[in-house]
Structure 1
């Protein structure tokens, strides 16, 4: 029997496994062929400390040192732009995220295809970084393996039974563990139901992405990530091209997500309304699932109905940037130690808030 069985091999699961591997024996079960197959592998992957709910921001802040030590960050910057009629949403985003406002000319210097005729407001945070998502996942996986942990792919969980010692989980073979860590992303409520644990009402939302050639053949490598007010669209340089998202949030059932062409077209139109270069060609498109708890905060800690079933869920679009802090908080909760976040934040992350 092992100490900790982590169900899910996305960033939530592998980061939890890395932390827990210092506390006991750990196995990760991932149903797909590789780690980070679903949401974690389809993330826009930006570290912006003030992005998310206050509890998420606390986890982002607690994550920065790990990101820096793991050398997964590279300079990017964050640019918020607005046009006539978008002032209220612009001000709300700028104030909440504490981004200094800049002039339109300065914004065009940063993102040269902005349309000066329509852009009226801009704000810029240079302290935002790209995250090397694959390196981050592999860093956590390496820590887990170095501490004796096991990671198994193609291991879809089909049955979970409570035993006198803990749990017996069937995924081709049967694995017995004292504690289950439910880090199954969009499938966390399904896993809970298999275990006889009350689901918490997690909802997956589709987020689509299109990859287009560099506008006008320009070098986009130094451009910041750019958002429309209220996160109605965003764009981000990526390997010589530009990623554009309609920032859609369509509720769906857990599945291997794919984009909706009409949703992508609507998002491209919102993006085009702010720039001088139209979208003329699509190189690729995909979608991922961002899964949220009802209050859109992460859920970290033991289930109210069984403290050997641990939730590590609801990362939404914040999993990559918050994972070092979130996994450390989770390990500290399990180990009965003081956490790096304050008591109010801890209460806002606890599954007990849904009791």
Structure 2
């Protein structure tokens, strides 16, 4: 006889773990994870920052609502962010400030002198910037472990090396076949599989909604001089690079978004070279060594908003996917909102006031 749970969550990265922590006090929960340890893919490869404007206006409500929980929980460390532009970008920078300030974000326009004071040595062509003082580093590992621990304490189970091989929607719920040959039954099947979200949907007989994995490359550099840790996160307003200090080193990305099949992503040497070339054109730091390089898959829905809610056509199939590059910083509010939709009741105040309709998977349903 197979084990039975109220809810089985496919994936135990940040999305699956945070949702499990929210729903486990109210239902029996099992997380199934393909890898040997949870958080191996996107969660373990994040550039690890919380920035109010990241992800755009549609993501802002989730980010803003998550901030107090992350800050009060000790998961954030002050950093600040500069979205820099050349004089030819001034209109774009000003529009950026106006758009997000209208939403309630703490963002202001800075001139060249104020930029230079925050990032000494930045090339003179960078004359304007949108400054976000609240931007912070996130302790991703601690946050992920917090959710795994909270889920476990309230009764959720975790099974690793438990890839979903088949899912059958039956009269009384779901029957699931796992890679180890075991079977599990549940009332509701949750798709929190990140880059594999559309693949899991197909296994369950649901229509894919176009979740696309995009590769993002990050390199850790040793530079001369060593970069002070109080330098803010620096982002190009045109999204061609960003970098930030990390324990005396620099984490740098060329802001690449290369379509990829779901996989254990690896960095491309060309992307590494492009990242370094772009940074060297921006600031006078000499690169002494590439100490580390890695890549992760950021998974986006077609409209680049997350997907939270029951499938429009397959009963008992729930989407918690498409968190892109903002899944860490929106995890508290995203999980609270998803849990509310999943259970049909309020489980946390974190998501109060957030309209769930922009994130409904029904927006992709075919007529």
Q: TM-score when scaled to structure 2?
A: 0.91
**1:123: which partner in 2?**
130
Measure the CA separation in 2 of the matches of 1:194 and 1:78. 41
Gaps in structure 1 of 5+ consecutive residues? none
In the TM superposition, what are the counterparts of 1:129-208 in structure 2 within 5 Å?
Answer: 129-171=136-178, 172=180, 173-208=182-217
Measure the CA separation in 2 of the matches of 1:113 and 1:33. 44
| RMSD over aligned Cα atoms | 1.7
CA contact (8 A) 1:50 1:57 kept: yes
**2:8: which partner in 1?**
5
**1:29: which partner in 2?**
32
Measure the CA separation in 2 of the matches of 1:280 and 1:86. 31
Gaps in structure 2 of 5+ consecutive residues? 102-106
The CA deviation string for residues 181-227 of structure 1, in whole angstroms up to 9 with x for no partner, is: 10000000000100111111111111001110144124x21111110
In the TM superposition, what are the counterparts of 1:228-267 in structure 2 within 5 Å?
Answer: 228-267=236-275
4+ residue runs of structure 1 moved beyond 4 angstroms?
none
CA contact (8 A) 1:70 1:139 kept: no
Deviation (angstroms), 1:133: 0.2
Measure the CA separation in 2 of the matches of 1:233 and 1:341. 34
Measure the CA separation in 1 of the matches of 2:132 and 2:310. 37
Select between 247-256 and 278-287 the one with higher mean Cα deviation. 278-287
Picking from 295, 301, 312, the partner of 1:304 is 312
**2:283: which partner in 1?**
275
Measure the CA separation in 2 of the matches of 1:239 and 1:180. 41
Measure the CA separation in 1 of the matches of 2:134 and 2:172. 48
Picking from 205, 214, 222, the partner of 1:213 is 222
**1:348: which partner in 2?**
358
Give the SS at the match of 1:23.
Answer: coil
Deviation (angstroms), 1:168: 1.6
